[in-house]
Amino acid sequence: MNAKFICLCLLVVAIATSSCKHKAPKKHETGILEVTNPIKKDTMFYRNYVSQIHAYQHIELRALEKGYLQKILVDEGQYVKKGQLLFQIQPTIYQAEMQKAQTEVSRAAIEYQNTKTLADSNIVSVNELALAKVNLQRARADSALMQAHLNFTEVRSPFSGIIGQFEDVRLGSLLDEGEFLTTLSDNSKMWVYFNVPEATYLDYMKQARSTTPIPLKLKLANNELFEYEGVVTAIESDFNNATGTIPFRATFQNPDKLLRHGQTGNILWPVALNEVVIIPQKATFEILDKKYVFVVDQEGHVRSQEIKVGAELNHLYIVKDGLSPEDQILIEGLRKVQNGDHIEFEKKAAAKVFAELELHAE
């Protein structure tokens, strides 16, 4: 009976031991992981602002007189020079009015000369001579007015630029005075408008006291940089209280006429930073919108460390708070470890890590 009891006890102990061994978690093998140090250096990054691109001069061309459109001497998208004839409104009526006015000038001039001759001989009074002179001046003024109306039948380019789209303009159309014809854009240089936050505005005003303007870059819709740099040339007077921004205007030279009125782009505003801590983006992970890194001590103990990111570069973060260049951070296998783990690691020189990131960015 005692022997059976002892055998039963041994069997229970064996089963319990086997069960415990089965439930014990296995240690996750991480292998040898790489760590490196943050670097501290001077650098530059660009703030990005959505922008609207406007021609330096952009106007509407309208008919100045009523009449039938007799000639269209240009095409949409054509480059024209200052003073070039663009549209001709039928001038027949205005030519007739002009001839009538010139005839009246001739008549008034003859009358004035006859009256002057009589006045010199004391045959007529000085007042009659003055009246004849006034009639001549009025005739000349009417003639000048008719000449202006005749000139207005010709729509000429006020400056060199590019013709826009025609707005229902066809030969023979009856135009009213002031009717819209097309647009004209001088895009030899461009005005680029963008909204700047108040903090950036204050920093700019402090820096603007120096003699060197900030060179701005313009990224176009195809993500390529415009060949020429621009500078801030105007700031509007009021802040938008809803957005906390103020409109800036930058001027870019456009000698190749690549930029056109109405395009969009992004202003890249350079910001220079001195002695900032920089880490690879791949060394970070997020928890509830906060960024962390794994700091590894000399014994291989891992702890998570929250960081504050000041700016984002290509594959890099500028760390505002939370790390120093002396810290060792994990740069691979972040998903394999947890806070408090012990790992085997191999240290990789920071210069080599960042050189590889720059090569990848290119």
For residue range 280-325, list pLDDT tens digits in order. Answer: 999 999 998 899 999 999 999 999 999 999 888 888 999 999 999 9
Q: How much is the pLDDT for 4?
A: 54
Q: How much is the pLDDT for 161?
A: 94
Range 202-217 average pLDDT: 84
Tell me the sheet residues that pair with 283.
none
Rg for the chain, CA atoms, rounded: 41
pLDDT for 111-169, tens place per residue?
888 888 888 888 878 888 888 889 889 988 988 888 888 888 889 999 999 999 997 78
Q: How much is the pLDDT for 154?
A: 87
If you ran DSSP here, which 8-state letter would residue 237 be given?
S
pTM: 0.71
Range 233-240 average pLDDT: 93
Structure tokens at 123: 């045959």
Tell me the sheet residues that pair with 246.
196
Range 220-245 average pLDDT: 94
Q: Ramachandran region of residue 77, left (φ > 0), alpha (ψ -120 to 50) or beta?
A: left
- Mean pLDDT, all residues of the chain: 86
Reported as type and span, the H/E element at residue 187 is: strand 180-197
Structure confidence at residue 171 as a pLDDT band (50, 70, 90): confident
Q: How much is the pLDDT for 30?
A: 64
The DSSP result for 67-128, as a single string, is EEEEEE---TT-EE-TT-EEEEE--HHHHHHHHHHHHHHHHHHHHHHHHHHHHHTTSS-HHH
Tell me the sheet residues that pair with 175.
67
Residue 23 has pLDDT above 50, yes or no: no
pLDDT for 76-104, tens place per residue?
999 999 999 999 988 877 777 878 888 88
Structure confidence at residue 5 as a pLDDT band (50, 70, 90): low
Q: Which domains does the chain have, with CATH numbers?
A: 32-43+276-361 (2.40.420.20), 47-56+186-273 (2.40.30.170), 64-86+158-178 (no CATH), 91-152 (1.10.287.470)
